[in-house]
């Protein structure tokens, strides 16, 4: 059984995970742009570390009963960002999870503060050309349903790359396309940090 302790801060929890045999912050938080692999990498990571996997986008869809595009359609991006912020505050207080965040979760300062406290933050750095390839056939990402998805991804990258870096404990370049290698690098960084 994991041993869990908390300090006075709302989001900050610590636990000892027998799978890792180290004392560490409770969660691994994956941040990065669309197509970075937060969902794909997060699922594998959770499996290997025997942690629960939670995907913020999927959780919002589960609770509302509609997909993200529908939320954008009826409530606008602002409505979605409100739901996302509430989800960050809630999930940031969990312990023992791998959290895949939405690509835009770092836009709000309040979210960044919460994610930073929630655990070991990993930025899955992914160049725009790779994001474009990975999301090319996708119709589920409302921000990419535009005439020029490349331009949109480039603009988002310029705005958000500094924000991802601001809160990252580790930056992993995913352009090598090796899912297993990415997972291995994260576990290595996580163990190194929690052993300190």
Ligand X SMILES: Nc1ncnc2c1ncn2[C@@H]1O[C@H](COP(=O)(O)OP(=O)(O)OP(=O)(O)O)[C@@H](O)[C@H]1O
Position among 39, 48, 82, 154 found at the interface with Mg ion (CB under 5 A): 39
Q: Which of residues 64-103 bind ligand X (CB under 6 A)?
A: 100, 102-103
Q: Cβ-count burial of 18 within 10 angstroms (0-12 exposed, 13-18 middle, 19+ buried)?
A: exposed
Q: How far is the CB of 68 from ligand X (least distance, A)?
A: 9
- Report the alpha-carbon distance of residue 149 to residue 46 in Å, rounded: 31
Q: Is 182 in the site for ligand X (CB under 6 A)?
A: yes
- Segment 119-138, which members bind ligand X (CB under 6 A)? 134
β 13-17/3-6 pair status: antiparallel
Element (H, E) at 27: strand 27-31
Nearest-5° Cα angle at 108, 105 to 110: 105
Span of 8-16, 20-28, 99-107, 182-190 interacting with ligand SKM by CB under 6 A: 99-107
Residues 24-43 that bind ligand SKM (CB under 6 A): 34
- Do 120 and 25 touch, CB atoms closer than 8 A? yes
Sign of the CA dihedral with 22 first, then 2, 90, and 144 last = positive
Contact between 141 and ligand X per CB under 6 A: yes
Question: Are 167 and 122 spatial neighbours (Cβ–Cβ below 8 Å)?
Answer: no
Ranges within 72-91 binding ligand SKM (CB under 6 A): none
Binding site per annotation, positions: 35-40, 57, 81, 103, 141, 160
Given the rule CB under 6 A, which residues bind ligand SKM? 34, 57, 68, 102-104, 141-143
Return residues touching Mg ion (CB under 5 A): 38-39
Contact residues toward ligand X (CB under 6 A) are 32, 34-41, 57, 100, 102-103, 134, 141, 174, 177, 179, 182
């Amino acid at each position: 059984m994991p041993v869990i302790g908390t300090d006075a801060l709302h989001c900050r929890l610590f636990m000892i995970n027998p799978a890792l045999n180290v004392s560490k912050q409770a969660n691994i938080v994956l941040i990065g742009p669309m197509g970075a692999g937060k969902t794909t990498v997060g699922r594998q990571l959770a499996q290997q570390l025997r942690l629960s996997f939670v995907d913020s986008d999927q959780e919002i869809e589960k609770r509302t009963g509609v997909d993200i595009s529908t939320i954008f359609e009826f409530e606008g991006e602002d409505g979605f960002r409100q739901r996302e912020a509430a989800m960050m505050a809630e999930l940031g207080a969990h312990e023992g999870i791998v959290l895949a965040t939405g690509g835009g979760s770092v836009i709000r300062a309040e979210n960044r503060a919460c994610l930073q406290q929630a655990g070991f933050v990993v930025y899955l750095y992914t160049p725009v050309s790779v994001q474009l390839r990975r999301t090319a056939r996708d119709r589920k990402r409302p921000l990419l349903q535009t005439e020029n998805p490349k331009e949109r991804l480039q603009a988002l990258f310029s705005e958000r790359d500094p924000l991802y870096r601001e809160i990252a404990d580790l930056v992993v370049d995913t352009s090598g396309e090796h899912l297993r290698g990415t997972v291995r690098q994260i576990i290595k960084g996580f163990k190194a940090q929690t052993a300190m």
